[in-house]
A and B are shown apart, each in its own frame.
Chain A
Amino acid sequence: MSVGSATEADDSLQPAGQEAGHGWGVDPPPLGPLAYFTCLKGIVWREILRYLHQRERFLSALVRPLVWLFIFAAGFRQTLGISIIPPYQTYILYEVFITPGLIGMIQLFNAMQSSLSMVYDRETGAMRTLLVSPFPRSYLLLSKLVAGVSVSLLQVYVYLLVAYFWEIEPPLYGYLTVLPALILSGLMLGSMALFMSSIIRQLENFAGVMNFVIFPMFFASSALYPLWRIKESSVLLYQICLINPFTHAVELIRFALYGQVDWTSLAVVLVFTAAFLGGAIYAYNPSKGLIARRGGPGGS
């Protein structure tokens, strides 16, 4: 800051201060539904702005699934025959089969990345500015989750657009019917990541997250191969896949993309979302949670 502006401050403080003084001394009104909506909107808006500014993150979120689609799927296509299984009514290309899995992967990565950004926020203090907002803490966390899900929706639809030109052409109404499924699976993965970020300090290390969370969840699921195929080779692995919530997120998306509902997956996703969300809210609760016991975000 220059010396000039420091000395000028005195003269112009008065008039500007009066303008800034609008509303001083007036008791703030209680927070109504409109204020709640403003808060949610603000948190989502910030998250999207931040995402759009991080060009590398934007690109890598798009490139990652496309590499799988263009290279991995092309190579795998010949080795793996897919029989007709619901929701598909004809023989399908392998690319079509793994698209819901790749969508799940986009959301999984995004969830992990936003929970990492919360760890980062916690360190820099941006988390504290969020938590001194007068809205209930559970609402703030939920808004933060919705913000992360919004970013993932953006990524998924851009991916689907590119994939469309690669002969992945679900029915047009599928683009609409998949939306609620995407929101749900995004919420589940987001709340899982949020819960993990609140209990695991080491989450800062993204390599660790890849090894211990993303890879096992992704590979032990129905993202890359149909479950009946896995069952043929290993019953144990099949059972692991069945209890993996990611499998159910993928199946939910797979059916929704064709306008259908996989009720089992829907139920599983709902239960896991509630459990993870409850855990995250508990962990961030100032009196009971883990922040208090550990000395708090950024607390030294």
Chain B
Amino acid sequence: MNMVSEPNVKTEAAPALVVDNVSHSFGETLALNDVSLEVPRGAFVVLLGLNGAGKSTLFALITRLYDNVTGEIRILGHDVRRNASAALQRLGVVFQGRTLDIDLSLKQNLLYHCALHGISGREARARSKSALEFVQLADRANEKVRNLSGGQARRVEIARSLLHRPALLLLDEPTVGLDIDSRESAVRIVRSLVAKERLGVLWATHLFDEVELTDLVVVLHKGRVLFSGAVTEFLEKTGTKTVSDAFRALTGITDTELAA
């Protein structure tokens, strides 16, 4: 496995994301306990976990906000610690919070992101244009982000995360606070790229209805991975019919805790 993290080795065969025995703690609290998971290319992986399960910590480690202290994280074969630049070039992120500049136009926001990836000039403008077309907002390119609805802003953020053609897309609770239509269109946009461009997606959520039967699912609970595999397998293993029942059976939490 070490061989593929060399920059010049063909990365075609490597999974979009490999997290290998990663633990991380803040002082005394162990936020992640020996977490391993994999996102193959062209797979939609749902990371299920309640608030405080360690999802945000895991995302912070993958995006190299802070270093993983133990274990390894590789994006398309590139180790995020030893080869951060190559790894981050292949990574797209949609953060939980709003991260667009609201006083700048949609286009200006996208061009800024292109620059952060070293893409300039005509290429940057062409990519920004087609990305906005892709999320159905081309006609509002010159408007300020301030004027967008929550769902539209989220679509711009998805468009932005795709500008540099990543192999792995991370989304941290991307549909929180969106209405049903916006949720649906966000999910559909991302899923279409999984099929077409072999994009590997890690979709963190606690909304069980976003899981489809063909997906892979990783259950993160109190910093540990309790399950990792196909959704069908997940249901079979727990002897349940729905993902939410399976989640409850596995984690042993009650409905009241879930609601909280």
| Closest Cβ–Cβ distance, residue B114 to chain A (whole Å) | 7
User: B231: which A residues are within 8 A, CB to CB?
Assistant: none
Closest A residue to B163 by CB, please name it: A20
Is A13 an interface residue when CB atoms closer than 8 A count as contact?
A: yes
Closest A residue to B197 by CB, please name it: A24
Closest A residue to B109 by CB, please name it: A46
Closest B residue to A287 by CB, please name it: B67
Contact of B99 among A32, A39, A129 (CB under 8 A): A129
User: A236: which B residues are within 8 A, CB to CB?
Assistant: none
Flag if A20 contacts B131 (CB, 8 Å).
yes
Binary interface profile of A, 5-39, with partner B (CB < 8 Å = 1, else 0)?
Answer: 11011101100110111111111101110111011
Binary interface profile of A, 130-142, with partner B (CB < 8 Å = 1, else 0)?
Answer: 1111111000000
Given A1-B182, A39-B115, A286-B64 contact (CB < 8 Å): yes
User: B189: which A residues are within 8 A, CB to CB?
Assistant: 9, 13
Is A3 an interface residue when CB atoms closer than 8 A count as contact?
A: yes
| Closest Cβ–Cβ distance, residue A224 to chain B (whole Å) | 35
Given A132-B93, A134-B86, A298-B97, A41-B164 contact (CB < 8 Å): no
Contact of B181 among A3, A19, A129 (CB under 8 A): A3
Is B193 an interface residue when CB atoms closer than 8 A count as contact?
A: yes
Flag if B56 contacts A300 (CB, 8 Å).
yes
A-B residue pair count with CB separations less than 8 angstroms? 178
Once bound together, how far apart are the Cα atoms of A134 and B119, in whole Å? 12
Flag if B118 contacts A19 (CB, 8 Å).
no
User: A134: which B residues are within 8 A, CB to CB?
Assistant: 84-89, 117-118
Closest B residue to A123 by CB, please name it: B97
User: A1: which B residues are within 8 A, CB to CB?
Assistant: 149, 151-152, 179, 181-182, 185
Contact of A287 among B66, B104, B152, B182 (CB under 8 A): B66
Chain A interface extent, by class: 35 or more
User: A295: which B residues are within 8 A, CB to CB?
Assistant: 26
Given A6-B185, A9-B189, A296-B66, A35-B118 contact (CB < 8 Å): yes
| Closest Cβ–Cβ distance, residue A67 to chain B (whole Å) | 27
Closest B residue to A46 by CB, please name it: B112
Once bound together, how far apart are the Cα atoms of A21 and B192, in whole Å? 11
| Closest Cβ–Cβ distance, residue B39 to chain A (whole Å) | 16
Is B227 an interface residue when CB atoms closer than 8 A count as contact?
A: no
User: B91: which A residues are within 8 A, CB to CB?
Assistant: 132
Binary interface profile of B, 76-112, with partner A (CB < 8 Å = 1, else 0)?
Answer: 0000010011111111010111110101100010011
User: B89: which A residues are within 8 A, CB to CB?
Assistant: 28, 31, 134
Contact of B115 among A5, A38, A126 (CB under 8 A): A38
Flag if B116 contacts A25 (CB, 8 Å).
no
User: A129: which B residues are within 8 A, CB to CB?
Assistant: 93, 95, 99, 113, 116
Excluding A9-B185, A38-B120, A125-B98, 11 further A-B contacts by CB distance (< 8 Å) are A1-B181, A6-B182, A9-B136, A19-B130, A31-B118, A43-B112, A46-B104, A49-B108, A124-B98, A128-B95, A134-B89
